[in-house]
Chains A and B, each alone.
Chain A
Amino acid sequence: MLDDFLWRAALAGLGVGIAAAPLGCFVVWRRMAYFGDATAHAAILGVALALLWNLSIFAGVMGVALLMAFCVSTLSGRGYAMDTLLGVVAHSALAIGLVAVSFVSGVRIDLHAYLFGDILAVGKIDLAVIWTGAVLVISLMLWRWQALLTATLNEELAYASHINPRREQLVLTVALAIVVAVALKVVGALLIAALLIIPAATARPFSRTPEQMALIAAMIAMAATTGGLRAAYMFDTPTGPTIVSLAAVLFVLAMLVTQSWRFLCQHLSIRGKPASTRRDQ
């Protein structure tokens, strides 16, 4: 089964989707969307450094993503706003990464593959790396779940319950770095943030609790990756962008369904109680 590249691709997509969904929920709840973006952009610098120093791509990306996260969280609150810092770090990391790549002589790299991913080229070792990362991220989230939620709700409530919100932020940052490093090969740097955010945003109107939202987001992410893979194969389109496009289609569908449901409810409830309205007139 693992000898078939389509199966490997599907399993890789599922792994990334499952890990990205609950993390993406926190990215949405904490308004960290740009943080995911920045980490993903910085990943290109990681790729360049890994090639320069002959490291594994995974290690390079992890290192740079973590470094960026530490820089941003220590610098924030010292005269610069978070989004300004992220903008500076993200774009300069991407630019420096592209410059650094040009210094790598003798090695021809397909930069396109790192920007948009190449899920069809996933090998058995990649698959092992992806699933190890996914299991790691999910265990981290399960372990810290209650504390993470409390810290996300309100920092003071967290402190009063002996939870340090800064440490929970660090947990999320590390998890984010792992997901970016793992997902780079599958969807690519430019689309990782999309895979984090779109399933979570799609799940929001259908959920009443954080857990429901994370589960529904995971299911949407799995549907988008497997469906997108199939569509890319059928229509011969680039896989990473196709997966994200399918997720976007699901988001629009979900929005249409909830909006029309709301419209219907309003309409019906007005019709449903004519007696009271008539009495008012």
Chain B
Amino acid sequence: MFSRLSTKGIPEYCTSLTGNALLRTDQLTVQFGQQPVLENINLSLKPGRIVTLIGPNGSGKSTLVKALIGAIKPTAGHIVRSRDLKIGYVPQRLHLDPTLPMTVHRFINLPKRHASRDIAEALEQAGAEHLLNAAMNHLSGGQLQRVLLARALLSRPSLLLLDEATQGLDHRGVAEFYQRIEQIRQRSQCAVLMVSHDLHVVMRTADHVICLNRHVCCEGQPEKVAASPQYHALFGDQAASTLAFYRHQHANPQDKEILRHAG
């Protein structure tokens, strides 16, 4: 009943070709008309790892996410999906037309209906158990995020894709949200790709940071990225140094990964 169309035009290889990665991009390039939006992006998402995508406005973060879910076709390059890939997607925001009546219960049963036990479990994991019968357009920003997360969890994803999911949340809300993601990662061992503006929290939760500005500027472990000149050039020295300071206090002693400069 549900289609296979979104992966049309993208070669679907078997798991062995993706290594142990759930999803890999190979020289992914997207152009809108003549305008290049993403150039030669290589990334790989592995089970149990949190990868964070940061970058200034217009750097192509959302475009990359849309390409990964199949909403935008790459101009060149490939997206290689493993057979185990099941994407749970949490959009940046959800505009609900007020003419469309929708309860939380109805919403999370789209596009597939789920057993009520699974629904209760997903809502609890997302911290939205009391919202089951609420009307969607009466939810606050934070409540809506938790419902969107619960809906994404219901499909039992092997990859959780969060596109600036903390937009509009206050500091405490953001911290709680990331804590929840961390718990979900530990529990289900799913891969997580987050797009974020919250540089501080990113540094604390991510295993791997990719700094995007049309192409991958720099990537690696959070503290390495924070120290890299490309990162400073992109975000300005002040923002970067606050971050380095913050990260210094929470530094992880087992840093081994080598920073890669692609810029």
Interface, chain A (partner B; CB < 8 A): 28-31, 143, 146-147, 149-150, 152-164, 167, 201, 204, 207-213
Q: CB distance B103 to A159 under 8 Å?
A: no
- B2, B94, B97: the one contacting A161 at CB < 8 Å is B2
User: Cα distance A158–B89 when bound, in Å?
Assistant: 10
Question: Given A156-B71, A209-B102, A164–B96 Cβ distance below 8 Å?
Answer: no
- A30, A154, A167: the one contacting B91 at CB < 8 Å is A154
Residues of A within 8 A of B7 (CB): 162
Q: CB distance B161 to A160 under 8 Å?
A: yes
Q: Across the two chains, which residue of chain B brings its CB closest to A212?
A: B101
User: Cα distance A209–B7 when bound, in Å?
Assistant: 31
Question: Given A156-B66, A156-B89, A163-B111, A210–B102 Cβ distance below 8 Å?
Answer: yes
Residues of B within 8 A of A158 (CB): 111
Residues of B within 8 A of A210 (CB): 100-102, 106
User: Cα distance A201–B97 when bound, in Å?
Assistant: 13
User: Cα distance A254–B135 when bound, in Å?
Assistant: 20
Residues of B within 8 A of A211 (CB): 106
Q: Across the two chains, which residue of chain B brings its CB closest to A161?
A: B111
Name the 5 nearest CB pairs between A and B, nearest first. Answer: A160-B89, A159-B71, A164-B5, A150-B111, A160-B69
Residues of A within 8 A of B97 (CB): 29-31
- A29, A149, A167: the one contacting B110 at CB < 8 Å is A149
Q: CB distance A159 to B101 under 8 Å?
A: no
Mark out the residues of chain B between 87 and 107 whose CB falls within 8 Å of any chain A CB in the assembled complex: 87-89, 91, 94-97, 99-103, 106-107
Q: CB distance B87 to A160 under 8 Å?
A: yes
Question: Given A149-B111, A209-B106, A159–B70 Cβ distance below 8 Å?
Answer: yes
B6 within 8 A of A: yes
B3 within 8 A of A: yes
Q: CB distance A147 to B69 under 8 Å?
A: no
Residues of A within 8 A of B96 (CB): 153
Q: CB distance B110 to A155 under 8 Å?
A: no
Interface size on B, residues (CB 8 A): 34
Q: Which of B69, B88, B103, B163 has the most CB of A within 10 A?
A: B69
Q: CB distance B112 to A162 under 8 Å?
A: no
User: Cα distance A160–B2 when bound, in Å?
Assistant: 11
Grouping DSSP codes into helix (H, G, I), strand (E, B) and loop, the A interface class, with mixed when no group exceeds half, is helix
User: Cα distance A161–B90 when bound, in Å?
Assistant: 12
Residues of B within 8 A of A143 (CB): 1
Residues of A within 8 A of B113 (CB): 146
Q: CB distance A153 to B71 under 8 Å?
A: no
> B255 CB to closest chain A CB, in angstroms?
34
Residues of A within 8 A of B6 (CB): 159, 162-164
Q: CB distance A208 to B103 under 8 Å?
A: yes
Q: CB distance B3 to A29 under 8 Å?
A: no
User: Cα distance A158–B3 when bound, in Å?
Assistant: 10
User: Cα distance A187–B112 when bound, in Å?
Assistant: 37
Q: CB distance A153 to B110 under 8 Å?
A: yes
Q: Across the two chains, which residue of chain A brings its CB closest to B148?
A: A157
Residues of A within 8 A of B107 (CB): 153
| Known A149-B111, A157-B94, A160-B70; further 13 A-B contacts with Cβ < 8 A | A147-B111, A153-B100, A156-B69, A156-B71, A156-B91, A158-B111, A159-B66, A160-B88, A161-B155, A163-B3, A208-B103, A209-B106, A212-B101
B256 within 8 A of A: no
Q: Across the two chains, which residue of chain B brings its CB closest to A201?
A: B99
Residues of A within 8 A of B69 (CB): 156, 159-160
B248 within 8 A of A: no
B4 within 8 A of A: yes
Residues of A within 8 A of B161 (CB): 160
Residues of B within 8 A of A156 (CB): 66, 69, 71, 89, 91, 163
In the assembled complex, 21 residue pairs joining A and B whose CB atoms fall closer than 8 Å, in A order, are A29-B100, A146-B110, A146-B111, A146-B112, A146-B113, A147-B1, A147-B2, A147-B111, A149-B110, A149-B111, A152-B100, A153-B102, A158-B111, A159-B69, A160-B71, A160-B89, A162-B3, A164-B3, A164-B5, A208-B101, A210-B100
Residues of A within 8 A of B100 (CB): 29, 152-153, 210
User: Cα distance A164–B6 when bound, in Å?
Assistant: 6
- B5, B71, B135: the one contacting A208 at CB < 8 Å is B135
User: Cα distance A232–B111 when bound, in Å?
Assistant: 43
Residues of A within 8 A of B135 (CB): 208
User: Cα distance A39–B135 when bound, in Å?
Assistant: 33
User: Cα distance A143–B3 when bound, in Å?
Assistant: 13
User: Cα distance A201–B88 when bound, in Å?
Assistant: 33
User: Cα distance A204–B5 when bound, in Å?
Assistant: 33
Q: CB distance A204 to B66 under 8 Å?
A: no
Q: CB distance B2 to A163 under 8 Å?
A: yes
User: Cα distance A28–B103 when bound, in Å?
Assistant: 18
> A33 CB to closest chain B CB, in angstroms?
10
Residues of B within 8 A of A30 (CB): 97
